[in-house]
Amino acid sequence: MKSLGLVVFALVTAPAAFAGDRPIAGFFDDFAREWMRGDPVRATLRQYFEGAEQDALDPRLTPVTREFRLARIAVARRGLEALRRYDPQALTPEDRVSYATMEWQLDDIVREEPFLDDAFPFEQFGGVQRRLPDFLANLHPLRNPRDAENYLDPAIKARASAPPPPGQPAGRPGGR
């Protein structure tokens, strides 16, 4: 009889902690993977994935464009909508904290959309002029030969896309 009571309790309370048939922990994991796939530099820094998936992200750079930021806001908006399908009161205390934290972070990202043009791209501590050199010089992992190949790909692309120094003809990077 006790087990029947537990089954009834589980059937009555479980649907409130799920959106559809999906537990919130699965949503957190899936959304985190989607978010990290969209930010190759962060995925490289954290070595978030394994094997071929991580290897495909390591040579890529995260775009620094308005279009990229708008796409990230769209992902955050979709994530926020999916998150809000869960009933926070039906979650464990630990999951409620995770829910509230994620809701706050995604809402913050969504609310920045009207202010995208107000950011200063060149700033002292984290501007675009610092991100790539810092990533390549200090943060990109170099543990094995494949890491070195993945490191060189963005470095070569960055050098190829850089404007020539004053007085040097275009199309001849580094004077070669």
170, 164 in Cβ contact below 8 A? yes
Q: Is the pLDDT of residue 51 over 90?
A: yes
Number of H helices and E strands in the chain, helices first, is: 8, 2
Q: Is the pLDDT of residue 16 over 60?
A: no
> Using 50, 70 and 90 to split pLDDT, how confident is the model at 17?
very low
Per-residue burial over 137-167, b = 16 or more CB atoms within 10 Å of its CB, e = otherwise: eeebeeeeeebeebbeebbeeeeeeeeeeee
Q: Once rounded to an integer, what is the mean pLDDT over residues 63-89?
A: 96
Residues 6+ apart with CB under 8 A from 144: none
Using alpha carbons only, give the angle 80, 14, 32 rounded to the nearest 5 degrees. 30
Q: Is the pLDDT of residue 176 over 80?
A: no
Q: Once rounded to an integer, what is the mean pLDDT over residues 93-112?
A: 97
The pLDDT value recorded for residue 44 is: 93
Tell me the chain's radius of gyration from C-alpha atoms: 22
The pLDDT value recorded for residue 159 is: 66
Q: Is the pLDDT of residue 19 over 80?
A: no
Average the pLDDT over each of 56-65, 106-115, 159-168 and give the range with the smallest value: 159-168
**High-pLDDT (> 70) share of the chain, %:** 77
> Using 50, 70 and 90 to split pLDDT, how confident is the model at 12?
very low
Domain ranges of the chain: 12-117
Helix axes 66-83, 24-37, angle to 10 degrees: 180
The pLDDT value recorded for residue 20 is: 54
Whose CA is closest to 43, among 18, 60, 22, 27? 60
* pLDDT tens sequence across 103-155: 999 999 999 999 998 888 888 887 888 888 888 888 888 888 888 888 887 76
Q: Is the pLDDT of residue 2 over 60?
A: no
